Amino acid sequence: MIQKRLTIRSLGDQIAADVRSTIIHGQLPVGSRIIETELADQYGVSRGPVRDALQLLLNEGLIFRQRQGCVVSGLSEKDVRDMYEVRVCFEELAVSHISANPQAVSWAGMEQAIDTMGKALSEGDTNRYAQADLDFHHELILGSNNSRVIAFWSVIKPLFSVMLEVTNSQDKDLTPSYDDHIAIINSLKDGKSADVATLITRHLHGSLERMIRTFSAPPTQEKPSSAVEGQRPGPIPSAS
């Protein structure tokens, strides 16, 4: 029984990830209606995983409920700015904790993320770079040792994951971003909290401005008008 629940939840996560991506990439525009039964038919699953997926998207603020289903609300400029404002607070808190006792910190996660970023940069793999970039900041936030901060971060992390994929794919040169991360970890190891806070603020402000420019750009092609129309995903395989 426990294994069955985990499998169903995994399907919900997969559907949420797919729909989240279509919304943030602009393939499912604001005002599109998402019908639970039709979405279940498209993915070849029962309505349970679809409900799980829609609840995740509701929590993230990407959709809202109406009497005949859910409607895409997407991300406004204010939404993006609010998310970054929260993220700056989270990361500055983490910096204060880490800098207070850098000798007690395990750096393996952040170092691995930077190593992956370097390889992705040399290979021109922007999606891999975006994931490694997020992994670095995830490890940083874990360093806050604040369970509430980590829990709240887990809600918005999937949004940042897709948003970074979009913006990084349009950046001509990710080298400045890579250099920022190296400077951040080096200052953290030296316990220079003021320097790191300045670096974090500058780095995230630059990321925010790139994000705003990207999401305020006009669409380059006509988008489908609903979660069903124009979308024909194949059935999601059950988790093993």
Question: Which tokens sit at 97?
Answer: 């904790």
pLDDT for the residue 218: 52
pLDDT for the residue 165: 83
Multiple choice CATH, 2-72, 2.40.30.10, 1.10.10.10, 3.40.50.2300, 1.20.140.10:
1.10.10.10
Is residue 140 within 8 Å of residue 110, measured between CB atoms? yes
CA angle 120, 122, 124 (to 5 degrees): 65
pLDDT for the residue 6: 40
pLDDT for the residue 212: 86
Within the chain, all domains assigned CATH 1.10.10.10 are found at: 2-72
Within the chain, all domains assigned CATH 1.20.120.530 are found at: 77-216
pLDDT for the residue 38: 92
CA angle 179, 121, 102 (to 5 degrees): 40
Query: In this predicted model, what pLDDT tens digit does every residue of 133-149 receive, in sequence order?
Result: 999 999 999 998 899 99
List, for the chain, all residue ranges whose pLDDT scores fall below the cut of 50: 1-8, 219-240
DSSP characters over 54-98: HHHHHHTTSEEEETTEEEE----HHHHHHHHHHHHHHHHHHHHHH
pLDDT for the residue 102: 86
> Judging by beta carbons within 10 Å of its beta carbon (0-12, 13-18, 19+), is residue 71 exposed, middle or buried?
middle
Location of structure tokens 């970054």: 84
pLDDT for the residue 229: 41
77-216 is classed CATH 1.20.1200.10: no
pLDDT for the residue 69: 86
What one-character DSSP code corresponds to residue 174? -
Region of 217 (left: φ > 0; alpha: ψ -120 to 50; beta: rest) is beta
